[in-house]
Structure 1
Amino acid sequence: METSSNSTYCSLPCIVPTHWVLVQVDASYTGAYNHSGLGGWLRNNQDIWLAGFQKKVYAVDVLMAELLGIIEGLALAKRGGFDYVACKQEFKDIQFTFVKREKNKVADFLARDCRRDVRNLNVVRDLPLPPTECMNLLLTDCCRLPGQNSG
């Protein structure tokens, strides 16, 4: 992985069309007190980290937690002014794809890490740069858009 003063690059090939950003999200739900951790991040077609988030929320089940994660990821993309997003609402195109946890390690880490915080329920923590704890995960995280060869 390379880093510069304002960008972080993932060295694995991740196929995202030129004018799109990829939103990867995950939720960590255990059922205990119905507290869930949400985590996600945006990357562009050059595999550059654009932004990330963590949020602790109340959810009645894992589906609700996952959907809240998608909503937060889409909100982050919208705040960033992106028109073409791999998972979005009220944008110019829409695509959803299932990503196994093994290929979604950064978002999984952010969700689990957030759930551990016993404070700050429903408070979003914006992450302009990836946390140092997940830098190695960026090297192994790879996701492809629907219709692309997953190699």
Structure 2
Amino acid sequence: MGHNGLDPILVNENPLERITWKFRNLRTSTLSVDFGKISSIMSIFSLLRCAPQIEQLHIEVDLKETQGDDEIHEGTLEAYMSDDLVKTLKCVTLAFIKCFPGEMSFIKLLLSKAASLESLKVMMFWHHIMPISDACLLFAAYKKASSTQVKFIVEHGMDTFNIVS
């Protein structure tokens, strides 16, 4: 046991992973995620697995997030984000985005796999690692590659950008 009474092995686990039942009526959810830790990202996929009818997902990036020790590769995320897992998503909001690789890969895969997605809103954190113009160019490339008609909005401070492909 750690000094706070918690087993240190369990602290880094994805607690949603152990849920075996389905929340069939859950349509909206909010999560806090650290895209620098694979165990935290896995909580998104666990929630989607447990809530097969979810339509609206609001993800707040953990403000303490750093690039993390975990190597977050697009292939790793793609292995878990099946088309079937995100088939009911209609509206996704990502808040406090810093443009770390895990965040960018998640956005790219979401656009390519969530065919039902109608709206994607990315709210940038004031301190991000990529110029907003570069981020918007990448987002436009992701959208173009996805062939989706999603309304894609990026907010940065007082500015709003409509991402078109």
Range into which the TM-score falls when normalised by the shorter chain:
under 0.3
TM-score (norm 2): 0.24
- Greater relative contact order, per chain length (Cα 8 Å cut-off, separation 6+): 1
Which of the two has greater helix per residue?
2
Q: Which has the larger radius of gyration?
A: 2
